[in-house]
Structure 1
């Protein structure tokens, strides 16, 4: 008989399903918060009850059809005599959860407790008392619900649940076998791989055989997406598992989707799923998962079960957002949650970083093994972005500027809620200002209690708001307020040397901020859920820096760099050290930068991009640019996707020579292709060092303590800046037929700390080789000798 392992939480669900999408639905991953409350209660119980055992492992094996189902889990508390099994659940509003569970005897929390009780009964012959112990995360007050264990009733449910598991397992076996068959038949999607691409495929495959993590730096044009995804997918499918492919932005999903399509065109029937942001999938004005507000959340699990939607989804080869929205409207279910239901049946899941690495992501669903105790493979695209992105997940702030915008927006809601909302904003304002009586930027220790009290009052207002007949609007201020405040409150308890709290004041606002200097410990926890991890980018040097901040330092990690497959003579790379872009020199050098752009773009008219450290610097230079016959496009701070696309379309049409001005690290400097004559030159205007301010200096101090004084400045300033600079330079040469000029303006590019981040092939011995004594003549000679 085949043994199938199932976690108690997955096993203990109503048959048939019932329930809505909400915080305490009982389905899906457990809330990330609340573990400290469990530990606290368990310690108290140990003092109260003799023989109280915390995290008691309970398990049982059921035979049904050709399978043995091994069900196991850990009960929060257990007493042998008198027999007691206890589960602890924490909630902000414990009264609300108490009322909910009293009305819902079929809730998954109840079935989970009954299952532990039944296992205890089978093991000891005693029918235990079952207790749901509910604890408030706000004030630690508790409520208890005694659950009856009716053995006959439980066994009637058990028979139905085991029949379901048999059917589910047969489907999984077919999927497992199909994946292994596909793996054997898979062929590389390109008959003639680019130079270095074959070696890349072999490197990934060999590394997976050795069980090592992999850091890959490979330039644009090598075909690294297909070169990494293909071996990762082939190896994972051979074990009956899937690949999870994550990117920093939704807009970068397309590259992975195109690689999957190329594999499919070879006759390989892999199923792909792209998880799109909930805000873009939502069929309501606001993505609020509350059954009182959203009909697509109400009775969601019942609708999924009654309409067999999981199996309907499995018949789709490529699951797109439009298909999910159509199905969501037809069956009145949440399209985003539908995409989550589709994860298990997909062979490749493409999504944003946050689904794997954010505190409230989808890690458990994405990494869940299929049948065997194997794990999926994880592919991290544009991995140079992950350290800062993951730090941001744990670095919320509250500012007077945000509160002021809320006050202005409260005008749009009915007066009764506007008055209450503004009163709460006023309290929030006073709370922030109480930490800055002297107006000096400083580290602080935030007192949790007043923030929790205000959080309770904001939630009460929100519930009253949702219960009213008011129409929820896009960017609704009441919902923004409750989300902003609760995110901050949930982070106040984050602890460790990598976290610090500050009060900051500048010309625009006052704020409280929680800063995470280093999220590597959190990233390590995510990697444990995967069999193999490969992180790649065009900018991962110095490798040791990225290995540390990506949380790969404790793993057996291989570092490998590939050179550009394109001929060096296709590219003219210049460093102009005579121009300083340091903050104090910008006013004085803005004219020189504009003059350099004017002269070089006149040597060969075409499309150019100039990328700056900041919007202010960009605007300063823009005012001095004088280009005859050129159209100048300027990136804006908040650009809608439609406007971004219109700029790219204009450059593609190439009706007139165009200069695009933008910022490093922005929408035009990473993850955007400018093939052929769409771009023939780039100006990288200085390294975009982070602002030298109080907060950044605290981060530098952390790096000094953690990694050493000699590394601190580079970790805090240089390396993050150079990743943006090199990404900016990489926009020009995208294929073997592309020709282009890359001009880097600033003497700092010649310094060792900056130069060591540059890709192999940029220079032979020293970046000084890239300095020209006759810039315009060299550029002219390059174009004249370019076929």
Structure 2
């Protein structure tokens, strides 16, 4: 859908002054800018309409970078009524964008919206450096600290000669001895968390002992709401209190709560978190950013894996179980775990000498082997329930003995539960995989995100999905909601000036397997690559479909870079090395010695990174980045073909992810309206429509502006641009 407007800019002074515009509260009073970007007003009008009407409506907005998508928060705030706005983000790095937007609303409009967020404990915990596993360590410290608070409350009652039936309070802030006790604690060997301690008060009410936020924690939480602190600022502000507890307190009172995808789309986590934060789904407006990532992320959230290491740890836990009743269940658990270990060892041995890879395994045969001791009365469901119950008992034992709260038996039990689902539900796929270092993993992969996404959308007041690359939107609707017609779709044209970009499509070059080693085809690919490296004066990125293809063309890229006086940077296989390489590549953009980055589509350096300014002036996607056509991928394809038919099913399962990877990679070039750059789709499948071609699925502006050329003409076009 294209939006046509004759006036590209509307100033605030030209807007209707009334507070009730078309029956809604006018969001223009909340809009913090002097003018709208092209098509932005139409987008915000639609968001306002959906937010006001509710009725579980879903609006998906496909709007390229620079459209002003973040400003949808203005009509949501203006028309939220009694609803809370929950913003779901894929990465923590996006939080600052929304905090900045709401700060601007507060500064420029006179309104005072409040916003809070939850950031992972690994980033916010004051003691994170003392734990191998910060989540397990934090859970254990909380238990210890609550025991300390309860003991201090009992001591207070004894000292004051008061009963639990009376109202009693223990506040660490008023305890003159607590500072000495904290000072006596040794890092790594603590018996309680000083920050969690100062975040709570213990009290009695009609004989029951309870806990509530401390006055200091409440005061710190007000700072988030009043000042809008960024996560690093909040962590510094909480000099005595637990940042995570402070975030939770503020979230209960905020107009806007920013969460990550896991918080919202993991059913168990969402139920617990929404209950803790007092969020009622029926009174929630859900805003999902980077929605093109939602489906794959939801699938990952609802999948499960185990390794031989996890199983061995679980066996060790079971062997240490005490108590006669527990030992009876532990013997059965030990037999099950031993069979899982045997199965995995045999699988690994059979894989010896083979390349890394993945394959399907039969969940029925696995269950028959693992639960073989059940005899005729075998009940797999009951066995799994017994394992989960035993895991909870082990967790309690660990907490009492000051051990890590992480329970490996729980992870194995949850995997077995997922495996039980996979036996009767084809949307869960059992997969065994082997890494380079012969590390075997068993996984139950969720294939279909639509039950989870549609289920949440059917519960909340309204849902807004926004993305810069939600193309083709109708295919994403089918993938996310299981049917077409459920979602209202709004597609916004690219507002960046056409003269700022050159879009090229390869006429003949391709990485199709039948042509991959053809000398003339390889030469065409090399010509397109050289045209970008040598013709663009600034930094460029070459995105390949795989690491093996990157290796195949490495020497050619190195020679072209040397001839152009540029430095070659290569995407590392270890993610820990990415920041350093990116830093040096970015710096080369503003130096005399420009850079050439070799990376993989869908890899560590092709998504979620902003290459602003001189950091990237051109990018080429070499090949159509389809997933390997493995036996596992064939099963994924088959599932979607059974569900949606041969053509639509294959497109969603196999083609759509490849289109998205390519668009995401090229999207790194233009991050603002004044930036220039060259975009090259170096595979003839991008240039053709119909058959194996995918041109019709690209964003409309790409289709309209693409110049189809061979390698020689590509060089002329780039050099003359």
CA contact (8 A) 1:573 1:741 kept: yes
Distance 2:102 2:41 in 1: 17
| Residues 694-717 of structure 1, C-alpha deviations (whole Å, 9 max, x = no match) | 222222111111111121221111
TM-score in terms of structure 2 length? 0.71
Deviation of the 1:603 alpha carbon: 1.9
| Residues 164-186 of structure 1, C-alpha deviations (whole Å, 9 max, x = no match) | xxxxxxxxxxxxxxxxx998784
| Residues 406-451 of structure 1, C-alpha deviations (whole Å, 9 max, x = no match) | 79xx9xx9x999xx99999865421446789998844323534666
Deviation of the 1:252 alpha carbon: 2.7
CA contact (8 A) 1:343 1:366 kept: no
Q: Pick which of 755-764 and 376-385 moved more.
A: 755-764
Work out whether 1:443 is the aligned partner of 2:362. Answer: yes
The 3 A distance-change label for structure 1 pair 457 and 349 is: closer
Deviation of the 1:220 alpha carbon: 1.1
Q: 2:679 is matched with which residue: 729, 742, 751?
A: 742
**Matched residue, 1:217:** 62
Deviation of the 1:604 alpha carbon: 3.1
Distance 1:684 1:271 in 2: 42
SS of the equivalent of 2:603 reads coil
Within a 5 Å distance, the mapping from 1:47-62 to structure 2 comes to: none
Work out whether 1:330 is the aligned partner of 2:235. Answer: no
Q: 1:612 is matched with which residue: 544, 548, 556?
A: 544
Deviation of the 1:730 alpha carbon: 1.3
Q: 2:412 is matched with which residue: 485, 502, 506?
A: 485
CA contact (8 A) 1:241 1:376 kept: yes
**Matched residue, 1:727:** 664
Deviation of the 1:511 alpha carbon: 4.2
CA contact (8 A) 2:532 2:619 kept: no
| Residues 648-681 of structure 1, C-alpha deviations (whole Å, 9 max, x = no match) | 6424543421112222223432232222322110
Work out whether 1:716 is the aligned partner of 2:560. Answer: no
Deviation of the 1:576 alpha carbon: 1.5
Distance 2:468 2:28 in 1: 31
SS of the equivalent of 2:703 reads coil
CA contact (8 A) 2:569 2:597 kept: yes
CA contact (8 A) 1:580 1:746 kept: yes
Distance 2:387 2:580 in 1: 40
**Matched residue, 1:280:** 123
Work out whether 1:499 is the aligned partner of 2:411. Answer: no
Work out whether 1:578 is the aligned partner of 2:426. Answer: no
What residue ranges of structure 2 are gaps of 5+ in the alignment? 1-23, 146-191, 203-210, 322-330, 352-358, 368-379
Q: 1:646 is matched with which residue: 557, 562, 583?
A: 583
SS of the equivalent of 1:309 reads helix
**Matched residue, 1:53:** none
| Residues 602-643 of structure 1, C-alpha deviations (whole Å, 9 max, x = no match) | 223211112222233323333432212111222223323743
Q: 2:475 is matched with which residue: 545, 557, 573?
A: 545
Within a 5 Å distance, the mapping from 1:500-579 to structure 2 comes to: 500-502=428-430, 504=432, 508=438, 510-551=440-481, 553=483, 556-579=486-509
CA contact (8 A) 1:246 1:350 kept: yes
Distance 2:280 2:434 in 1: 56
**Matched residue, 1:154:** none
The 3 A distance-change label for structure 1 pair 243 and 481 is: same
Distance 2:201 2:443 in 1: 38
**Matched residue, 1:354:** 262
Distance 2:511 2:102 in 1: 42
Deviation of the 1:269 alpha carbon: 2.0
The 3 A distance-change label for structure 1 pair 637 and 264 is: farther
Greater RCO, 1 or 2 (C-alpha within 8 Å, sep 6+): 2
Work out whether 1:230 is the aligned partner of 2:166. Answer: no
Distance 1:658 1:277 in 2: 34
| Residues 190-218 of structure 1, C-alpha deviations (whole Å, 9 max, x = no match) | 21222222222223223434543111111
CA contact (8 A) 1:613 1:685 kept: yes
The 3 A distance-change label for structure 1 pair 497 and 573 is: same
Distance 1:549 1:301 in 2: 48
Within a 5 Å distance, the mapping from 1:56-71 to structure 2 comes to: none
The 3 A distance-change label for structure 1 pair 396 and 592 is: farther
SS of the equivalent of 1:737 reads coil
Q: 1:633 is matched with which residue: 569, 573, 576?
A: 569
CA contact (8 A) 1:591 1:624 kept: no
The 3 A distance-change label for structure 1 pair 422 and 350 is: same
CA contact (8 A) 2:384 2:413 kept: no
Deviation of the 1:722 alpha carbon: 0.5
**Matched residue, 2:601:** 664
Distance 2:87 2:485 in 1: 20
